[in-house]
Each structure stands twice: as structure tokens, then as C-alpha cells.
Structure 1
Amino acid sequence: MHRVRRKLRLAGRMPAPIEDYAIIGDCHTAALIDREGAIDWLCLPRFDSASMLGALLGTEEHGQWVLRPVGEAEMLGRRYEPDALVLVTRWRTATGEIEVIDAMPHGDRRADVVRRVRGVSGEVAVEQVLRIRFDYASAMPWVRQMGTDEHPALVAIAGPDAVVVRGPRFRAIDHAHRAETLVRAGETVDTVLTWFPAHRPAPGPLDVDAQLDRTRAWWREWALTCAAPGAYDEHVRLSLLVLRALTHEDTGGIVAAPTTSLPEDLGGSRNWDYRYVWLRDAALTLEALMLHGHQTGAAEWRAWLLRAIAGDPQDLQIMYGLSGERRLAEYELDSLPGYRGSAPVRVGNGAFTQFQGDIFGEVLIALDRARDLGVEEDESSWSLQKALLAHAEKQLDRRDNGIWEIRGEHRTFTHSRAMLWAAFDRGVHAVREHGLDGDADHWAALRDGLRAEILANGVSEGGWFVQHYDTDEVDASLLQLAHIGFVPHDDPRMLATVTRIEETLLRGGLPLRYRTESGVDGLPGDEHPFLACAFWLVENFAYGGRLDDAVALMDRLVGLTNEVGLLAEEYDVENDRHMGNTPQALSHLALVRAADAIATARKRVSPAVPSRAS
């Protein structure tokens, strides 16, 4: 981890660099906290609720909660407590040192944020400045004092939302509230913010000691079952904690990230809302968690999937809301100016209307892996998978938007076709290896037909797999073909694809998803190297006989994590900064897979997913 010392910036600042943010969460929502003690993003009570602290997409006037020493101070460093998403930040001033402990209690069925200040040495004057802006900074709350002189409370209400803040007394300054407290060595001062529906009474005070102990115990108990891969264990364990934090406890939905509209290119318009459940990302997350000791989550996610896509399989979407909501209409906000001026800020995601053929394979692969790990099918879950295969068969002649949600012309993407191959392959496997009912011979014929088609149309004259059938361009999604077993990692076509990606897609040594200048995505502007694809490249190096290259690239990638181990979606190599929504589930699950690949290659074991090519 990095040791950080920096002086505070002045008020009226832009949001911090994306890599400056740490996450705390309660498996229902999350808060993002920068290095200077500002919570700049908080949506309560769910990931997809409207923000009440939205400075991340504007300035402090769009909602912020700062807790820091008064005046000049050094932030000495931040860390998570061992195996727990409890953030500890240490500060030093001329008069003493303090630690700030930030957490969102788990298991109390409330929506609380706890900020505890502990005196370490001397005495430190600590200030808090709270600006609450409900509904994406469009609703200035009505704020009133409650409680007693000994136990003050601040209540803020606007429309359906309300919060109560207990701790030091806050006093109004302009459209904010400020509190100042002197904290001496050995003393502890707690501030707790609790969301509640505005039409109900405010919840009572929180037993902070008990809830922090309970929260630490819950995270550590969960982490105890995480099987380490034997490589990059510290980064893997943190990544698994992040993936758990992005899993909504009540519904089982797994969000792609807890943020919206952090730009893929600073100042550009490639700004998307990731606070939803993509079937692909959720399936890949599930696979990573299962392979590291968390098979029980498979049944929960399978139940979520069953609820979300219940009904006519023809209504299948690529993504849903946390509870399986289908309508995720995309619109632009005028109440938030965007991260450092990167507009528009979007809520909802229009990609929910797209057709992406690869999701059939992603879902069937994850559920097949669950079976292999001993998760038993029930009548409903296998019926669901058969229905998905029947629907996939009806889509075999359909072009799609592809894994990257292309908003341009539909294409016959090689990755999508290979994922359809994988869907039918896993159906065959379910019948022939697990004894489930189904027409395995028919699915095998469809699988084999897809394989012949891909090898005839999806391979260039140069011998590499192509992005889609009408080009000889490559795409980083092709790095998945060996992982799903379509070809072995050392197949000449796969090796040629890796080489071609290195020749044409690397920027500063890291891979882009595809060349945006090719015009395939129908969008203006550019983007930066995609971190998940870089980890996929590590995986292919490791399994393809280039272990030294795999380790070198992996070492570089884990070096790009921030000081608490988090990764965003993309990395701007020219300016050495994170870009895109953060923390990104796809980046962290790809890190886990890459570490697994290196550990396996070091043990000189055959590839973890052998080819089922026939």
C-alpha cells in the first residue's frame, strides 16, 4: 500500500482524481470517500437511489460530507482493517494525531454511515461540513435541530427522503452545517448519519460500538471462506471483498459499479450509469466468487435470475435493476454538471434494450460451473436454462450489439457467436455429465454448427480471430475464447490473436477494447485501456506459455490499484490516472482470474478450463 502525505486543497474544489476514492458499503449501497476526508458520493438506501451527496459529479454544492482536522494537516495514509470494508485514515497536525474510522454497519437493517474519530496523541481540532442535497442535488432539504444539548441531532427532509445526523452539534452556515470538536488522545467521537423515509419517525440512536464490532465480525467471517489462489493473495482478497460489497444482500443482484457517469474520457460524453445488474458481469462475478469458496451465493443469484427473467424468454434483457426491474430508461440530469465538467450525467442505461448474444453463454457457463462445484439444480432452475437455450436457438440468425454495447450498426461479432457456442456446449454437458433432461444431440448439432461457422468466417487470412465477420480488426473480447474452452490457449489461432492484439490495440502497454477510430461503436470521442481486458491478456499469457510476460503485466496492473487496492474501469496511461466508474466489478473479477491463471501456470498444471472443441 502507498504512504500518502499531502496538504488539503481549498474549498470550492473539483472532485478528487478517481483513484483517490475508497469505498465503504453495507451490501445495499456504498459511499465513496476521497483522501481528504470528503464523502463525495452516497445514494441511500440502495445503489440505484438518487444521490444525496453528489460532489463527485460536480462540486461540494452538490452534496458532500467532509470530516478532517481544522486547518493544515497531513493525511499519513489510509487502509482497510484486515478482511473488512472498514476504512481507517490517519491524520497528523502540529498538535497531535487522530484516526478516522469510516464504515457502513452491516446487518442492522438500517441505512447508516458511521464516522468515528479516535484521538491517537496530543489533541486535534476536527471539523465537519455537511451539505445534504437530495435527488441528485435537485432538492435542498428542510433542516431542523432536534435532540438535547447533551445528545444533539440534525434532521434534514426533502420529499420522500430524510436523514438524521447524531453526534457533535452542527450549526448552519449558508446552505451547509458545520461542527467542530476537540479530540484528545484516548477519546472517541462518533457521528452517525441515518437515512429513513420522510413519512416515518426518525430511527433511534445507533449503538456504534456494537454495530462496528458486528460489522467487522461479519466481513471477517465471510472472508474466512475465501480460498486464496496462491498468487497476489492480498489483491485477490480485497477484490473478493469488493465483489461482495457490490452484491445487494436482499435481492442477490450484483451491480457493475456503485457510480454513474464517471467518464471514460475526461471531458467526453462516454458517461454511463453502472448501478444495475448486467447478466454478463453478474455471471462472471458469480464464477469468481464460487471458485474462491462461495458456492452458496450461486443459489441466491440463480433465484435472482429466475425472478428477473420470469415469463416469456423472448423478453430477456441484457441487464436489470437490483430487484429485477426491467425499465431502465436512460435520461440526462441538469442538476449535476458532471465529473470535472464531463457531461452529460446519465441515470438509467439505454443498453437495456439491446440484444447481445453473448449473455446466453455467460449465464450458462456460470450455472454450469455451479453444477460442477456441487450446487444442486432444482426443477425451476434447470427449466430456466432450457428455456434460455430454446430462446438462444431462435436468435441464431440475429446480429447483435456485442459485449461492448455498440451503439452503431449491428454486426456478427465473433465473441457473441462463440458465447452462443458455449451456451449449447454447457447444455450438452448438463445432460451428458450431470444427468439432467434435455435434447443433448440437438444442442450438440447447434454447437458444432456454430463452431464450423466461426472457424469459416471469424478467422482472418492472417490466422487470428476477428472482431466481427466483416473486418480483419481484432477486439479484446476475443481473449475470452480460450477461457470458455472454444480453443486451447496454445491454439495457433489464439496465439495469433494475442499477438495481433499486442500489435494493434496496446496503448502504453495496456489493451484497448477495440479501435474506436474504426467507427464500429457509433460514438464520438475516445476511451482508454480497459483494465479487465489487460487482466484477460495476463490470463492468456499465463496459459499460453508466456508466464514471465504474464507476471510482468500483472505486476504492473496491481501497481495501478490505489492505496487501498481499488480499480476503476479504465486507465489513462498518458496521464497516469483511473477513468470510468469505480470500483468496477469487472476489473476486480478479472484480477482474481488473472491471479488464478498465474498460480495455476506456476504449478505447471493444465489450463483450468480445458477445450471442449470437437
Structure 2
Amino acid sequence: MGLTGSPFPPIADYAFLSNCHTGALVAPDGSVDWLCTPAFDSPSAFGNLLDRGAGSFRFGPYGITQPTARTYVPGTNVLTTTWHTPAGWLLVHDALTMGPRRGNDTVTPHTRPPADDDAEHLLVRTIECLDGAVEVELVCEPAFDYGREPATWVVQDEDGHVADASGGGQTLRLGTGLALGVEGSATRARHVLNKGERAWCALSWAEGLALPADLDDAVQRVKTTIAFWRRWLARARIPDHALRHPLERSALAIKGLTYMPTGATVAALTTSLPETPGGERNWDYRYTWMRDTTFTLQALHYLNLDWEADEFIQFVADVEPVEDGSLQIMYGIDGRRDLTETTRDELSGYEGARPVRIGNGAFDQRQNDVYGAVLDSILLHTARSKRLPRRLWPLVQSQAERALAVWHEPDQGIWEARGAPQHYVSSKLMCWVALDRASRLAGIRDDEALRAQWAEAADDIKSDILAKGVSDLGVLRQHYETDALDASTLLAGMFGFLPGTDERLRNTVAAIDRDLTEHGFVLRYRTDETDDGMSGKEGTFLICSFWLVSALAIVGEMEKATGLMERLLRVASPLGLYAEEFEVERSRHLGNFPQAFSHLALIEAAGRIILADYRAELSL
């Protein structure tokens, strides 16, 4: 319980674990409050994040809920928690384990070529008494199907060290060196550890519900997982700069949000964490947004993570277009198109924020920014790999033609507004990106006719935006019928629509910095000026603040850019993670967590600052 008396921990206090198939959130008290098995978008087995009766799994000291320290093992997504009790000290390791690939994965089958290492479909937890004698407790109480199905337990061995929990068509196996006892829908164990003694437990949804054989095996699996993350991070290009650590943590977060079987990246681990405290702006983010493609490719290529970039672009090439040939704005991590939205009205929601949503009703919205995001990502990937794969050219043609057909039409905009369609400037800007990048790709293929046709169309879009999308003050508008500001117009600089010397871009950056911020952090837009179909105020959007860092760097305002970056780094979670929003009044994170978009924008902003610093060094 926090200082506010809420039974829900602050969003930013959760630790994120991942095996690149699913992820878990661990509360400060040692409880796993969110875990969907076997995949990111499966129904939750532990859902205390959204209702304090929807399932949890704690392994830690009995009667003590406030840890002394929580950190990641450096260079990994493995959590360590240090506990000080009146009787001694404990150290806990938590990991969704990775190990050498052993044949085909039948739990979450791959469509991409399998790597050398893969998920073991195990949550392994080890504990060691560092000093004194400490009573340890294990309490595992799944509630399947987002809390609807309490677990039914069956002990599987005579000694009571293995028990199966079933419900909602799922079975999880709990194994431990401790003696288990079933109490209703929970299984519990308690044991006193003396200095130097260790204990373990593991939860399995692997094929055959396989478990570690013993304590040594459990410890080794955690060590193997640590080695996996460090080997992976060693492949990344992380400059020796003051921003090295946030870049590393962001890289690990993005990799952790990647669904290895298909190469897709989820927007966030969670559903329905509120953008407005106690409000209705609660969405399911466990899917892949096409607009994230270009930001994902930019970040991965910047970090030299070309394998992950290729996996992601192949996922984009695999997804099925809609009837007119365009791509949806989002897909399931397995490529499915139908993400029909439902609500779970029996759940309380995080701190009373309802409804809790499963699925996302925006999947069939018309958003014209999709084409630019996809084609920019293909151009980025082509420039990096020095080739345009044959299977991507039809996608280039179809998305360019759709952008050409719809750029003059209104849409729901980048923020998926649920109000009336409008002529959003950022949507038209991204259609310009689509035709500009398509023209360049046609040039790479030596198709002069298409190159010229698409280049001319890009010029037409640019002329239209500059004629109708700029206010009398020389500032880019949110849409053609308003002078309201929108942070998405910062993309004009980031995608090269306008150079950093252009007064319209400089005016836009200055106006957003001055008039679309709260205590220096950037809003998407002002909700009282925008028909987004929802009620209530929302927090500042972290991605927009990182975009402003990039935009300030583009227009040469490096002192302001670095100042904002420093403020953003100070509001990172205790473990270096970011949600979607930051509520400045109470200095807390809001929205789904951890948020890929926030970390992708951090990587770009950091890259621009590092580049400027290196250029400054060279000019000395």
C-alpha cells in the first residue's frame, strides 16, 4: 500500500520481466501481479494489477512487504530484490528464463527462423539468506481468464513439492523444494532459511509442464538467463556517453516487448492501466501498431540490432491487408486482424479506472498515417541492408497507391480519436512520407516512371499542408479546421518534411514548448480543444516530450533539448522504465507499462543529443 492508502502499487514501482514470448510485472512486495501465459496477449493468470482479487504469486519474507533494494542484474531483464527483516537479510532473483533451443516450440510456435536461445516457458524464483534466520513464504493464487476462474489445485507428488493449478482451460505447474499445502484456490509454503541456505520455486506452462529438477538446476537457469541477456546486449551499439545507461535499459525493454515467434513488438505489456486516474481512457496495448514500425526500425538500426529489425520487417510483410490493399493500424502479435474489443465489468480496474478492456476497438479505424510509417520503415531497412527484398516491393506499391488515394480524405488521426474524422496535419504529413519514401524506393529499383509519379504526388501533399495546415502565426495546426496545437506535428522535423532552419518548423516547436506543456512536459493536445470522443483530462505523454527533445535538437536548440532530456531521465521509474504518460501534479506514471513507444522515442532523442555532442567535439 502506498502513501495514498491505495492497495494498488504505483505503476512505476513495478519491475518488468520478459522471455520474449510473454512478460510479468512484479510489485515491490514481491508479488507477481501481472502474467499472461503463454503469450503477451493471452488471458491473465495473475491479474492483481487490475483487481486485487484477480491472481498473485508472492515469494519473499513472511510479514515484510517493503524491500530494501530492487535492481536489475546489470545488462539483463532479471530482477534482484534485497530484503532486510528483523531477523536477517534475504536476496531474491526473479526471471522468466531463457535457454538453449531444444527442437520446435509447441507452446508458442514460430513463424520466424528460431534462434539459438528461446523461452523455457518458466518463471523461476530463487531466494538466499544472506544473514540471520528468516522465515520465507510462498503464496501462489492464480485466477485464470482475467480473474474469472479461481484455480483448482491438485498435488502431484507424495512429498508435496509439485502441484498443478487448473482453470479457464489452462494448467500451470508449481514446483519447489518447500513443502506445499493447498488452501482453497491458493497453494502456500513457509520455511525458515538460515544464513547461507537457499530455496527455489518455479511456475511452468512448458510442454509437459517441465520444471527445474532441483535447487541447483533452478539457480543455473537464472544464470543462463543472465548470460543470454548480456550476450544479446553485447551485440548492441551503445555509445560511451552519459546516456549509455538509459539507452541500455530502453534496448532491453524493447527486446523484452518483442514476440520472438513472429518478430512483432507489443506496444506495452498491459491492458487498461489508466491514462486518466479513475477514468475511462483505458486501452489494451498488447498488440502491434503499424505506426510503430518506423520508430522501431529507427531504434533497432541505430543500436545495430539488425537481426531484430529484419524479424520485425518480415512480420510486417506477412500481415494480411484489408480489402482495399491497405494495412490495418494494428494487428495481433500472431498477425490476426480481428481485435474486437470487450470489457470485463467484474474487474475493479486499477484504482477504480473502468472499464477494463480486452481487445482494441480502434483496429478497424481509418488512419492515414499508417502508409508513411510502413514505407519509411522499408526505406530505412533497405538503406541499412543495401537491398530491397523482392517480397517487400508489392507492399511498397500497395501502400503508396493507398496513400495516393486517401491523403486528401479526413481520418481519425495518429491518436485514434473516437470523435468525428478530421483533416489532421500529421496524417497528411505521413502520407507525404509514404509517397516520398516510395519514390526513393522506386528509384532504387530503377523504375523512373513510378519514381516521378510518386515524387510529384509527394510535392502536391506538401503544398496542400503548407497552404491549409499552417496558422496565421506560422505554426502547424492540429487539423485544417482549428488553430489548436498537436504534438504530432513535431514529426515534420523528425521525418524531414521541413528542415531545421524553416521558420514554420521553428515556430511550431516553440509554440508546443511554450503552450502545450505542463511544468515542461508535453501534452498530446488539450482535451478541451479536441473532439477525441472521450471525457476527462489526461497526463502529459512521455513520447511527446521525447519528440520535443528531438525537435529542439533539429532546430538547433541544444541547451533546451538537453535540459528537457535531463528532466525526462529524472522521472524514469526506479528501475529505469517508462509508462505512456506522466502526471505532473503527483509526479507519477500513468497508462500502460512499460511502453515501447516511450522507450523508442527516448532512443531517438538520445541519438540526436549524442550526435550533436560528437559533432561539437570534432569542431573543437
TM-score, scaled relative to structure 2:
0.92
Q: Say yes or no: does 1:70 pair with 2:80.
A: no
Partner of 1:148: 158
- 1: CA distance, partners of 2:76 / 2:449: 44
> Does the CA contact (< 8 Å) of 1:51 and 1:135 recur in 2?
yes
Secondary structure of the residue that 1:314 maps to in structure 2?
Answer: coil
Taking the TM superposition and a 5 Å limit, the aligned residue runs for 1:590-601 are 590-601=601-612
Give the 3 Å change call, closer, same or farther, for CA 315–537 of structure 1 in structure 2: closer
Secondary structure of the residue that 1:447 maps to in structure 2?
Answer: helix
Give the 3 Å change call, closer, same or farther, for CA 313–103 of structure 1 in structure 2: farther
Partner of 2:260: 249
Give the 3 Å change call, closer, same or farther, for CA 407–189 of structure 1 in structure 2: same
Secondary structure of the residue that 1:439 maps to in structure 2?
Answer: helix
Q: Say yes or no: does 1:574 pair with 2:551.
A: no
- The 10-residue stretch of structure 1 (311-320 or 270-279) with the greater mean CA deviation from structure 2: 311-320
Partner of 1:609: none
> Does the CA contact (< 8 Å) of 1:476 and 1:511 recur in 2?
yes
| 1:562-612 deviation digits (Å, cap 9, x = unpaired) | 111011000010011100000000001111111111111223379xxxxxx
Which of the residues 193, 208, 224 maps onto 2:203? Answer: 193
Paired residue type of 2:128: R
Partner of 1:610: none
Secondary structure of the residue that 1:157 maps to in structure 2?
Answer: strand
Q: Say yes or no: does 1:35 pair with 2:28.
A: yes
| 1:352-378 deviation digits (Å, cap 9, x = unpaired) | 011111111111111111111125322
- 2: CA distance, partners of 1:9 / 1:176: 25
Partner of 2:96: 104
Partner of 1:124: 134
Which of the residues 410, 413, 422 maps onto 1:411? Answer: 422
Q: Say yes or no: does 1:178 pair with 2:171.
A: no
Secondary structure of the residue that 1:267 maps to in structure 2?
Answer: coil
Partner of 1:115: 125
Paired residue type of 2:199: V
- 1: CA distance, partners of 2:192 / 2:290: 49
Cα offset for 1:162? Answer: 0.4
Q: Say yes or no: does 1:289 pair with 2:282.
A: no
Secondary structure of the residue that 2:615 maps to in structure 1?
Answer: coil
- 1: CA distance, partners of 2:367 / 2:36: 29
Give the 3 Å change call, closer, same or farther, for CA 173–416 of structure 1 in structure 2: same
> Does the CA contact (< 8 Å) of 2:493 and 2:554 recur in 1?
no
Q: Say yes or no: does 1:26 pair with 2:19.
A: yes
Partner of 1:390: 401
Secondary structure of the residue that 2:314 maps to in structure 1?
Answer: helix
**Aligned-residue CA RMSD in angstroms?**
2.0
Q: Say yes or no: does 1:203 pair with 2:210.
A: yes
Which of the residues 373, 378, 382 maps onto 1:371? Answer: 382
Partner of 1:495: 506
Secondary structure of the residue that 1:598 maps to in structure 2?
Answer: helix
Give the 3 Å change call, closer, same or farther, for CA 283–106 of structure 1 in structure 2: farther
Cα offset for 1:507? Answer: 1.1
Partner of 1:160: 169
- 2: CA distance, partners of 1:390 / 1:492: 32
Give the 3 Å change call, closer, same or farther, for CA 314–386 of structure 1 in structure 2: closer
Cα offset for 1:313? Answer: 4.8
| 1:75-120 deviation digits (Å, cap 9, x = unpaired) | 1111111211100111111221111100001245542111110221
Partner of 1:221: 231
Number of equivalenced pairs: 593
> Does the CA contact (< 8 Å) of 2:30 and 2:58 recur in 1?
yes
Paired residue type of 1:44: T
- 1: CA distance, partners of 2:2 / 2:461: 58
Secondary structure of the residue that 1:603 maps to in structure 2?
Answer: helix
Secondary structure of the residue that 2:258 maps to in structure 1?
Answer: coil
Q: Say yes or no: does 1:135 pair with 2:145.
A: yes
- 2: CA distance, partners of 1:365 / 1:213: 39
> Does the CA contact (< 8 Å) of 2:33 and 2:55 recur in 1?
yes
Partner of 1:57: 50
Paired residue type of 1:39: V
- 1: CA distance, partners of 2:429 / 2:298: 18
- 2: CA distance, partners of 1:347 / 1:73: 31
Cα offset for 1:172? Answer: 2.7
Secondary structure of the residue that 2:68 maps to in structure 1?
Answer: strand
- 2: CA distance, partners of 1:105 / 1:263: 30
Cα offset for 1:383? Answer: 1.9
Secondary structure of the residue that 1:449 maps to in structure 2?
Answer: helix
Cα offset for 1:287? Answer: 1.8
Partner of 1:525: 536
Partner of 2:112: none
- 2: CA distance, partners of 1:565 / 1:401: 33
- The 10-residue stretch of structure 1 (203-212 or 263-272) with the greater mean CA deviation from structure 2: 203-212
Give the 3 Å change call, closer, same or farther, for CA 601–405 of structure 1 in structure 2: same
Partner of 1:17: 10
- The 10-residue stretch of structure 1 (368-377 or 84-93) with the greater mean CA deviation from structure 2: 368-377
> Does the CA contact (< 8 Å) of 2:44 and 2:147 recur in 1?
yes
Which of the residues 473, 476, 480 maps onto 1:465? Answer: 476
Structure 2 unmatched runs, 5+: 100-117
> Does the CA contact (< 8 Å) of 2:19 and 2:119 recur in 1?
no
> Does the CA contact (< 8 Å) of 1:280 and 1:363 recur in 2?
yes
> Does the CA contact (< 8 Å) of 1:142 and 1:157 recur in 2?
yes
> Does the CA contact (< 8 Å) of 2:325 and 2:398 recur in 1?
no
Cα offset for 1:68? Answer: 2.1
Cα offset for 1:434? Answer: 6.1
Aligned residues: percent identity? 38
Partner of 2:75: 83
- 2: CA distance, partners of 1:101 / 1:318: 38
- 1: CA distance, partners of 2:469 / 2:84: 59
TM-score, scaled relative to structure 1:
0.93
Structure 1 unmatched runs, 5+: 1-7, 607-614
Paired residue type of 1:465: L
- The 10-residue stretch of structure 1 (114-123 or 73-82) with the greater mean CA deviation from structure 2: 73-82
